[in-house]
Each structure stands twice: as C-alpha cells, then as structure tokens.
Amino acid sequence: MPTRAPAIEVAGLEKSYKDLKVLKGVDLTVDRGSVFALLGSNGAGKTTIVRILATLLKPDAGTATVNEFDVVSQAAHVRESISLTGQFAAVDEILSGRENLVMIAKLRRVPDPGDVADDLLKRFDLADAGGRRVGTYSGGMRRRLDIAMSLIGDPPVIFLDEPTTGLDPEARLEVWEEIRKLAGGGTTVLLTTQYLDEAEKLADRIAILHQGTIIVTGTLAELRQLLPPAQAELVERQPTLEEIFLAIVGKEKR
C-alpha cells in the first residue's frame, strides 16, 4: 500500500524584508498526524515560516506544500486545508464562548453550527462557561476556545504559533493537553515555540531554527545523541532539550 505524502514539505525556503534576510533556505518535512515543533529564539523566523505556509506571505525562493497543495499556486486549496492560531487568542470578548463558535461555524458554512459549537464546548471542557461572555474567561480558557474555533470544519493541518505565550503554568498545561488530543485524533500540528519544555513534552519531531536556517531536526532521542553521553555519577541524567538547544546554537554562533 503506498504511503501518503507528508502533511507539509518545505524546500529551500527564503524570505527577506528589504535588506533583512529572515529565511535563508529552510527545509523541513512534517508527517501526517504528528506534532512537529519548530523551536527558535525570538526573531529566528518561526512566524515567517508559518505565515508562508498559511499563504499570508509569499516566499522569495523555494517551495512549500501543505496537504499536497502548493502554497503559492494552489493557495485557496491550502487555506481550505488549514487553520491558524496565532500568539494571542483571536476571540470576541463581548460574545459568549458558544456565540464565538457558532459565528465561526456559520462563516465556514458548516452544517448545524449550534450542534458543532456544543460539541466543541464539551470537548474542550467549556460547556459550563459556554453561555458566559468571553471577557470573563481566564487566559487558559480563552486559548482553549481559540483552539476549538480553529477545529471547526475539521482541517487536517493546524498551525499553532507560540500558543502558550503569556499563559500561567496551569493554563499552559491545559493547552498542552488539548494539543495532545489533536494529534491523537489524527490532526497534524505544526507548533512554533521558544519554550524548550513545550517542545520536549509535546513534539514527535523537533527542528531548531537559528539565524534563518534549520540547523538540526530529529526526535528528542536523536537530538540527545548529538551531545556527549551522560556521565554516570550518582544518577545518570539525560540532557534536557534546553541543554541540547544551547549547545547546538552555541556552536553555530562560534
């Protein structure tokens, strides 16, 4: 049986803003139904990659496909295949949680928008708060609602651009649990983050983006192999993703 093409394929992607070259030839592949973490410092180019994949920007060079559609020549098909959740929850604070969901379902012409809204409220543990104004929600509740809104229409690929920015530790854990559920249900998740523990906890594969290029890609276990073996003293300890990241980026800086 032939295997399906990857959910996302990127080759030689370049992007500049005037004299500032942000992407310098990015290559990456994201398997279907996986969580892929794009890890990098502020200004590394993570959001630029997401904006290109979401057809909000055009690359200067290189190619990218999402759900087997080219992001430039087949942009409309790409937009039908994806949902994008940015760094800040894009919810209407005046409307209730349910009204936000119904509104998006109607805009996307999904049948039975009320039923869709009620199902998502239950799925994201927001049923009791569904009738309340979103302005009364905590940060974690708003982000969960934002992710719920992104699922309307069952897009096969979801981009989460630094989804836990500004959230407290408890709210971050809530969002992490929802991301795990998404991947468990077969949705492909491309997650950008500068939080090393977030990538370590969630990702099937991790790519480190530094100064506009991907300098390493692999599973956490594969990345650990790039460092010297753990020294056995009292207790053998595997290197954390933070130690791997700093070691790799430090080498590039030198």
Q: Give the model confidence (pLDDT) of 63-86 as tens digits.
A: 999 999 999 999 999 999 999 887
What one-letter code names the amino acid at 125?
D
pLDDT digits (tens, 9 = 90+) for 222-251: 888 876 665 555 556 678 787 788 788 775
- Domain span holding position 20: 8-253
Decide if pLDDT at 212 tops 60: yes
pLDDT score, position 177 = 86
- Answer yes or no: is 47 within a domain: yes
Of residues 134 and 151, more confidently modeled: 134
Average pLDDT of the residues in 88-98: 86
User: What pLDDT, in 10s, does the model give residues 115-143?
Assistant: 999 999 998 889 999 999 999 998 888 88
Lowest mean pLDDT among 12-21, 97-106, 164-173: 164-173
- Asked if residue 2 belongs to a domain, the reply is no
Is residue 67 situated within a structural domain? Answer: yes
Separation of CA 176 from chain center? 11
Helix spans in the chain (H): 46-53, 75-81, 97-107, 113-123, 139-150, 169-184, 196-202, 220-224, 241-253
Q: Which of 23, 85, 90 is nearest to 58 (CA)?
A: 23
42-65 mean pLDDT: 94
Average pLDDT, the chain: 87
Residue of 43 and 8 predicted with greater confidence: 8
Q: Is the pLDDT of residue 254 over 80?
A: no
The mean pLDDT value for 210-216 works out to 91
Query: How large is the average pLDDT for residues 34-51?
Result: 91
Name the residue with higher pLDDT: 253 or 70: 70
pLDDT exceeds cutoff 70 at 49: yes
Name the phi and psi angles at 113, rounded to 5.
-60, -35
Looking at residue 86, its pLDDT comes to: 76
pLDDT at 1: 45
Q: Average pLDDT, stretch 53-59?
A: 96
Cα–Cα distance, 208 to 158 (Å, whole number)? 19
Show Cβ contacts of residue 126 under 8 Å, excluding neighbours closer than 6 positions: 97, 120, 141, 144, 145, 148
Is the residue at 1 inside a domain?
Answer: no
What CATH code is carried by the domain that includes residue 26? Answer: 3.40.50.300
**Number of structural domains the chain divides into:** 1
Longest CA span, the chain: 61
The reply to whether 202 falls in a domain is yes
